Amino acid sequence: MKYNFNRFIDRRDSFSLKWSKEALQLVFKKDNDDLLPLWVADMDFECPKPVVDALKKEAEGCVYGYNWHGIPKYLNAVTGWMDRRHQWKVDPKWIVYSPGIVPAINMMVQTFSNIGDKVIVQPPVYYPFFSAVTENGRKLLLNQLHYENNKYTFDFDDFEKKAKDPLTKMFILCSPHNPVGRVWTKEELKKLGDICLENDILMIADEIHHDLILSGNSHTCFSTISEEFEQRTIVCTAPSKTFNLAGLQVSNIIIPNEKLRQSFIHTIVKKNGIGIPNSFGIVAMIAAYNEGEEWLEQVLRYINENFQFLKEFVDNNLPEVKYIEPEGTYLAWLDFNSLGLSDEDLKNLILYEANIALDEGKLFGAGGEGFQRINVACPKSTLEETMQRIKKAVDQRN
C-alpha cells in the first residue's frame, strides 16, 4: 500500500498535546491560531493501515475491560520485531510492560539506587532524564557530549572519571540520541559499557528511536554487544515513535537479568500498581510489529527527504545557522549561536516573530544553549512553511 505523507491532518481541535490550542497556550503562553507547532516528538502522519484496522476491530468489540500483556501473541510480536530488525533474540520472559519509558526510568532510579546516589546522563539530552534523577532525590553527574565540527562524540575521559565515583550507581544512555541525532557506533558503545562494567554501574539504554535510523547508518542494541552487557543493561523500547502510537501508552522494558527484572517488577507492579495495559495499545502494537514494516520503510524515506530539504534550505537561505547532520530519529538539531542572540532573544525570534513552536535547546541541558529542535516528521508543506517563517524572521533582524 502506498501512503500519502503529504496529506495534512488537522489536529487543532483534538486532544493533541502538540497541536491543540489549549495545550499550546498553556505551554507557550501564546494564544494564536496561526502558531505552527513542530515541538513534541510525535508524527503528523497517519498510522499504518493494519494498525487502524486493528483498532477499529477492537472498538467494535464493545467491551473494554482489563487486559494482560503476557499472552504469546503480544510477546511474540515484540520478540519477532527485535529479532528481525535488531538481530537480538529476546526471551519473552525478559519483557516487562510499562505504559511509557519515562515512568519506567523513574522507577528504575527508585529501584536500583538510593537517595544521595549519583546517576550519569549526557547533555544535551532528552530532558525528562534530569527530573527522573533529581525528583527522586538522586544527584546528576553530567558527562557533556563533545561538540566539534558539527558533530557530537562522547567525552570518555570525563565519563570514566565520573564512573569511578563510588556513589555513581547508574548510567542513562540515549541511543539513538535525542536531540543531537547521533547513532552511536558499536565501538563507542562498547567503550562506554566497559567503563560501566569495570565500575559496577547499571546501564539503562533508552532506545525508543532505534527503528528510526537514517540511510547509511546502523544501530547497535546496547545489550547485544556482549553477554556481560546483556546482564547489566536494561533496554527500553516502544512502538510509539516508530509507528506514531505514543498516545496508546505501551512500551516494553527488556531485562535479561532475572534478579534485576524481579526487583523492577516489584517496583512497577507491587509498589506502583502498574501492570494492566491499554487494550487499544496492545492491539495497535501487535499489528504494527507484525504488519507495519511496509509503512515504516515508506516513512523513513519520507523523513530522509525532509531532512535533505531542511539541509539544503539552511545551506542556501540561513548561512549563519548550522545544520547538524542527523543519523537517526526524526528530530533536527539546529545551531543558531552564530546569530549572536541570547536564549531569550532566540526564543522571541522563533516563537513571536516566526510564530513557530519548537523545543528550545536549553531545555536539554548544558550544551543546548543557542540551539532549537525541530520535528521533521510532518508534511513537507508544513516544514517548508516553518523554514520560510524562520528565514523571514532572521532576515528582518538583519
Specify the pLDDT at position 81: 98
N- to C-terminal Cα distance for the chain?
47
Residue at grid coordinates 528565514: 391
Specify the pLDDT at position 217: 95
**What residues have CB less than 8 Å from 208, skipping those under 6 apart?**
101, 236, 237, 238, 240, 241, 251
Specify the pLDDT at position 227: 96
Question: What is the distance between the alpha carbons of residues 199 and 51, in angstroms, rounded to a whole number?
Answer: 44
Residue at grid coordinates 510489529: 289
What DSSP string runs through 192-250?
A: HHHHHHHTT-EEEEE-TTTT-B-TT-----GGGS-HHHHHTEEEEE-SHHHHT-GGG--
Q: Which residues pair with 173 in a beta bridge?
A: 205
Backbone φ, ψ for residue 16 (5° rounding)? -60, 125
Question: What is the distance between the alpha carbons of residues 303 and 305, in angstroms, rounded to a whole number?
Answer: 5
Which residues in the chain come in under a pLDDT of 70?
none
Specify the pLDDT at position 170: 98
Helix (H, G, I), strand (E, B) or coil at 157: helix
**Nearest Cα residue to 88 out of 96, 78, 98, 75:** 78
Enumerate domains of the chain plus CATH numbers: 21-48+293-397 (3.90.1150.10), 63-291 (3.40.640.10)
Specify the pLDDT at position 213: 98
Question: What is the distance between the alpha carbons of residues 153 and 180, in angstroms, rounded to a whole number?
Answer: 10
Residue 355 Ramachandran class (φ > 0 left, ψ -120 to 50 alpha, else beta): left
Contact 214, 179 (CB under 8 A): no
Write 40-43 long-range contacts (CB < 8 A, 24+).
40/375, 41/178, 41/241, 41/246, 41/329, 41/330, 41/331, 41/375, 42/18, 42/240, 42/241, 42/244, 42/246, 42/247, 42/375, 42/377, 43/244, 43/299, 43/330, 43/377, 43/378
Beta 233-237 vs 251-254: how paired, if at all?
Answer: antiparallel
**What residues have CB less than 8 Å from 248, skipping those under 6 apart?**
240, 278, 280, 281, 284, 285
Query: What is the DSSP secondary structure assignment for residue 51, as one 8-state letter?
Result: H
Residue at grid coordinates 550544551: 367
Question: What is the distance between the alpha carbons of residues 320 and 314, in angstroms, rounded to a whole number?
Answer: 9
Contact 138, 118 (CB under 8 A): yes
pTM of the model: 0.96
The angle formed by the CA atoms of residues 79, 122 and 148, to the nearest 5 degrees, is 115
CA distances in angstroms from 130 to 80, 230, 282, listed in the order given: 33, 25, 29
Beta 233-237 vs 202-206: how paired, if at all?
Answer: parallel
